[in-house]
Amino acid sequence: MRVTRLLGLLAVGGLAYVGIAWWTWRTEMETGYSAPQPAIPQSAQGFSDKANRIRSLHEKKRPNQPGDWLDRFPEGGQTFAQYIQSRHEEPLRDSYSSIDIQPLGEFDETQLQIVKKTQEFMECFFGVPVRLLQSRALGEIPSHACRTRNEVEQVLTTWILDDILKPDRSEDAMAVIGLVTCDLWPGDLNWVFGSASLHERVGVWSLHRNGDPRASDEAFRLCLRRTLKTAVHETGHMLGIPHCAAYECCMNGSRSREECDRQPLEFCPECQPKIWWSCRADPVKRCQQLLDFAEREGLKPEADFWRRELKILSNGIVSRK
């Protein structure tokens, strides 16, 4: 009798072990993360299921090349479940109603077109109204906030974030993004494409290193694609999303123009549901709008990708507007 009960207990224990091992293996296979994951709340389960369906379309993070961001700054990344936990299960869209873009300083006609298209794209990407604020001059820059490096004028990002954007930040803005054409440096690195504060809802990025959009149609598209990448990357930080380490993803850190150009414009299956959930964006509508934008602007690889993603997200039923 006692032996039977012992065997029974061993069998139950064994089954439980197999169950846990299978769950851990499955989580690792699906997310690339081995740490125990917080449970996904019931309200976000639908997003988690949709994210699992698009997983096969996204490429796992390739091995680092010497000098890449993760080679220099090893970061662990963050799963969708960890993000929800970090936001105390409160989507940002419930507290804020828009994302604001604040052009700062001089822009020529072509650069203004890039700004306008960036606004349009961000509205599709985050599913939140994006307000383009009246341009502002940078005014008198204090001596500690400007410098010349390799004969290029640079402005200090922390000065723009703390002294220009924060004082005028609107209460209902999920994020305020300063847009400049001058080069930027953050104090501890030589230069940056952009910089954002995860907690203060302010960020700034520059068109300076994105190429000359006036040179040709191809150069315009390249400058647009680069600007869009920085825009959604920095705004992602402002939504509390850290760098991604699991997939080839627009939330990957980058240390060079070349590393940034290698990364896709879209977020991966761990980062994309963070937007769906936090901005209360409809995944199918979002994907359809991104596809329309990419087709309109001649962003061919992106259009091809979103066409495939849309097919999966909408269960093969693709409705054209």
Q: Does the annotation count 234 as an active-site position?
A: yes
CA–centroid distance for 150 within its chain: 31
Measured from the CB atom, the residue of 225 and 229 that comes closer to Zn ion is 229
Residues at the contact surface with Zn ion, assessed by CB under 5 A: 244, 247, 249, 251, 268, 270-271
- The single-letter DSSP state of residue 247 is B
- How far apart, in Å, do the first and last CA atoms of the chain sit? 70
**Of 270 and 297, which has the nearer Cβ to Zn ion?**
270
Q: Which is nearer to Zn ion, 247 or 276 (CB)?
A: 247
Q: Of all helices (H) and strands (E), which one includes residue 172?
A: none
Shortest separation between residue 247's beta carbon and Zn ion, angstroms: 5
Catalytic residue of the set 234, 259, 297, 309:
234
Q: Minimum Å distance from CB 306 to Zn ion?
A: 16
- Among the listed residues 209, 297, 208, the one whose alpha carbon sits nearest the alpha carbon of residue 260: 209
Q: At what angle do helices 300-313 and 45-54 cross, to 10 degrees?
A: 130
Which of 103/269 has CB closer to Zn ion? Answer: 269
Question: What is the 3-state composition of the chain as percent helix, strand, coil, each rounded to the nearest 5?
Answer: 50, 15, 40
Neighbours of 314 (CB within 10 A): 15
CB of 321 to Zn ion, least distance (A): 28
Q: What is the CB neighbour count within 10 angstroms for residue 179?
A: 27
The nearer residue to Zn ion, 55 or 307, going by C-beta atoms, is 55
Query: Is 202:48 a contact under the CB 8 Å cutoff?
Result: no
CB-CB neighbours of 95 under 10 Å: 10
Of 118 and 141, nearer to Zn ion (C-beta) is: 118
With a CB cutoff of 8 Å and minimum separation 6, the contacts of 135 are: 103, 104, 107
- Nearest CA among 156, 60, 147 for reference residue 104: 156
CB of 38 to Zn ion, least distance (A): 18
Give backbone dihedrals phi and psi of 179, rounded to 5 degrees, phi first.
-125, 125
Task: Provide, rounded to whole angstroms, the least separation between the CB of residue 10 and Zn ion.
Answer: 42
CB of 250 to Zn ion, least distance (A): 7
Beta bridge partners of 98: 173
Catalytic annotation, residues:
234
